Chain A
Amino acid sequence: MGVAAIKEYTFEPADRLENFHGNQLLYIGWDQHLLFAAPFCLPMPPAMRFGDIVEKVLPGIYGYHPDFAQIDWSKVEWLKSGQPWQADFDKTLAELGLKHKDALRFRTPGLNGIKGSAS
């Protein structure tokens, strides 16, 4: 049963890929850094190089945090849907198999937020 209804009730999902003008949604969260109170939602073209997100987009959204400048990106651990994931900065989102509404998290070992409070 997809829904309790008095008659046939099926509609397109409100957030299907075609509605985003050529972009797909990518969610991204920085673990242990809850100064940013929730993960982010970003509309990105599938042909975008992943490295461009890290190098050009993330500084704008996470740069406020004093830990951000200290990140050693070669040591960052990535998770997709909660499972370890191999990032490749030279590949595009599509080449990396990132689909619409995929959720990525990254962990920065040794950097645990303001005074180690996960903030």
Chain B
Amino acid sequence: MDMKVSKKKLGLKEKYQHMTRGLGWETTYQSMDEVFPYAKYEGIKIHDWDKWEDPFRLTMDSYWKYQAEKERKLYAIIDAYAQNNGHLSVTDARYINAVKLFLNGISPLEYMAHRGFAHAGRQFPGVGPRVACLMQSLDEIRHAQTQIHSLSNYNKYYNGFQEYRHMLERVWYLSVPRSFFDDAITAGPFEFMVAIGFSFEYVLTNLLFVPFVSGAAYNGDMGTMTFGFSAQSDEARHMTLGLEVIKFILEQDPDNLPIVQQWIDKWTWRGYRVLTLVGMMMDYMLPKRIMSWKEAWEVYFEENGGALFKDLARYGIRPPKWLDQIEKDKDHISHQAWAVFYNYAAACNFHTWIPTDDEMDWLSQKYPNSFDKYYRPRLEFWREEAKKGNRFYNKTLPMLCQTCQIPMLFTEPGDPTQICYREVDYKDNKYHFCSDGCKEIFEHEPEKYIQSWLPVHQIYQGNCFNEGVDPTAEGFDPLAAVLDYYHLNFGRDNLDFEGSEDQKNFDAWRGMATKNT
């Protein structure tokens, strides 16, 4: 006995309307300006939030359904990987250091992205972008969680994973990704969206995820590869959101163009500087290489990015500044960064090493203009010294760039023999920079960057020792005290890969899995 009911289910379009746009209202008890206090101070002018087009028209109920399905698949694979001792099937134990770099340097950024998108979502007066930001915020915390869960399997067996959360706010090299994101989330909601939603998620994301996910696939790391794939469909949504944001802002008012252009210049450069770590990982840390940093830059930035900026030209947007320098630097930065980590291997929670002869030949082939001339002699010298028992550990703290916080390792554009120094005098103090890009970013907002928490300066101010430690006591060892403060286990988490506990354990365990001893 069928009863005739009026239409039970909403159509997709109606559902979207009710569950997004229908959720907002004009406030009356308090003014809209007081409810959304961050919406105007950046100078961006929005006249009609309803012009926002949501490219996905996703509603919360479908969102949960899709994500739950992805989670089920992902955790089934993670479990299988763990139960089958998947960690022993990676190419060799050096690879695990790439995973450490990811967990320590990248996963916390996913969590910061979660916070940032939640904040932006709260602050935008328009309902469309608020809902889109809410979903991205949830995606980002999911990425942080799935990464931590996948990588916790490595933490059971290898050093350097155990204190990533504690280290994020302390260890010198982690101030690079951390300050990058702190800069973004302390900006206003529009700058955050251009910084992370567009410049990072749209312009640079392939350079971050493809190397790690393909690197995992090439090196037998099924667990890491799987969370990469699980995140991929979210990334497609994020990229679309990032692009939509830019177009929406630019279409709203012509005064927005110069502000957005400055943010694109700034955040492409900031992101590119952070990607130095990825370049180094690709060229030095993957036993089985996928492509060189230089090739990745050419494919994912020069080709794809070139097309993107052609598309944006109709809004008056030009390609980011300093691309001519990046073009010159692509032969060099990965080698220069590896040199820094080789230097400071005692203060680091992953291992470094000298590439094998085969690997050096690969580098010569990929970098015919630079590797043999500038970098091979350095590596071979270090290798000879290490053989004599004189492995180089640099114990003096480096000069850092005030903006990107990377040690001043970069050379003058066009002269790889000369470190690039730039400086600015501001209110009776001197500030130093690795590049014109970082200098100009500082000059635009000096009051922000004069407060940078530079790890080297903080150590010299005495702020990086555990409570109760007395730096004036006799026999005080500052390096040991700083490593204690980092929670870094000397001799296990740090130093060269050669002779490390990771190396010994991996060899022993793999031996048990493949031989009858």
Do the two chains belong together in a single complex?
A: yes
Question: Which residue numbers of A lie inside 8 Å of B, CB to CB?
Answer: 1-6, 9-11, 13-16, 19-21, 23, 25, 27, 29, 31-32, 34-43, 60-61, 64, 81-82, 99-103, 105, 113-115, 117-119
**Chain B window 55-72, contacts with chain A (Cβ cutoff 8 Å), 1 for yes, 0 for no:** 000000000000000000
Q: For window 427-454 of chain B, which residues contact chain A by CB distance below 8 Å?
A: 427, 429-432, 445-448, 450-454
Q: In angstroms, how far is the closest chain A Cβ from the Cβ of B252?
A: 18
A34, A37, A60, A118, most chain B CB atoms within 10 A: A37
Q: Apart from A14-B457, A81-B423, A101-B431, what 9 extra A-B contacts exist at CB < 8 Å?
A: A1-B445, A3-B448, A14-B452, A20-B460, A25-B460, A37-B340, A101-B429, A114-B377, A115-B377
Q: In angstroms, how far is the closest chain A Cβ from the Cβ of B122?
A: 14
A27 with B432: in contact, given A2-B446, A4-B445, A32-B417 (CB under 8 Å)?
Answer: yes
CA distance A20 to B456 in the complex (A): 12
A4 with B419: in contact, given A34-B336, A41-B460 (CB under 8 Å)?
Answer: no
| Stretch binding the partner chain, chosen from B7-15, B37-45, B303-311, B481-489 | B37-45
20 A–B contacts, CB within 8 A, in A order: A2-B447, A4-B187, A4-B445, A14-B454, A19-B461, A20-B461, A23-B460, A25-B460, A32-B417, A34-B417, A38-B343, A38-B409, A40-B397, A43-B460, A61-B396, A100-B429, A100-B430, A103-B421, A103-B430, A113-B377
CA distance A3 to B343 in the complex (A): 36
Q: Is B392 an interface residue (CB 8 A)?
A: yes
A41 contacts B398, C-beta separation under 8 Å = yes
Prevailing SS type, chain A contact patch: loop
**Chain B window 16-58, contacts with chain A (Cβ cutoff 8 Å), 1 for yes, 0 for no:** 0000000000000000000001100111000000000000000
Query: B430 to chain A: which residues have CB within 8 Å?
Result: 99-103
Query: B452 to chain A: which residues have CB within 8 Å?
Result: 14
Q: In angstroms, how far is the closest chain A Cβ from the Cβ of B416?
A: 7
A114 contacts B378, C-beta separation under 8 Å = yes
Q: Is B285 an interface residue (CB 8 A)?
A: no
Residue in chain B with minimal CB distance to A101: B430
Q: In angstroms, how far is the closest chain B Cβ from the Cβ of A102?
A: 7
Residue in chain A with minimal CB distance to B390: A64
Q: In angstroms, how far is the closest chain A Cβ from the Cβ of B514?
A: 38
**Chain B window 377-411, contacts with chain A (Cβ cutoff 8 Å), 1 for yes, 0 for no:** 11001100100001010111111100000011101
Q: Is B320 an interface residue (CB 8 A)?
A: no
Q: In angstroms, how far is the closest chain A Cβ from the Cβ of B458?
A: 8
A41 contacts B416, C-beta separation under 8 Å = no
Q: In angstroms, how far is the closest chain A Cβ from the Cβ of B475?
A: 17
A114 with B423: in contact, given A3-B448, A13-B429, A37-B340 (CB under 8 Å)?
Answer: no
CA distance A85 to B455 in the complex (A): 29
Q: In angstroms, how far is the closest chain B Cβ from the Cβ of A25?
A: 7
Q: In angstroms, how far is the closest chain A Cβ from the Cβ of B108?
A: 22
Q: Is B491 an interface residue (CB 8 A)?
A: no
A114 contacts B396, C-beta separation under 8 Å = no
Query: A37 to chain B: which residues have CB within 8 Å?
Result: 336, 339-340, 342-343, 394, 398, 407, 409
CA distance A39 to B445 in the complex (A): 25
B336, B423, B462, most chain A CB atoms within 10 A: B423
Residue in chain B with minimal CB distance to A16: B429
A39 with B377: in contact, given A25-B460, A99-B430, A102-B430 (CB under 8 Å)?
Answer: no
Q: In angstroms, how far is the closest chain B Cβ from the Cβ of A10?
A: 6
CA distance A118 to B381 in the complex (A): 13
Query: B450 to chain A: which residues have CB within 8 Å?
Result: 11, 13-15
B429 contacts A15, C-beta separation under 8 Å = yes
Q: In angstroms, how far is the closest chain A Cβ from the Cβ of B66?
A: 37
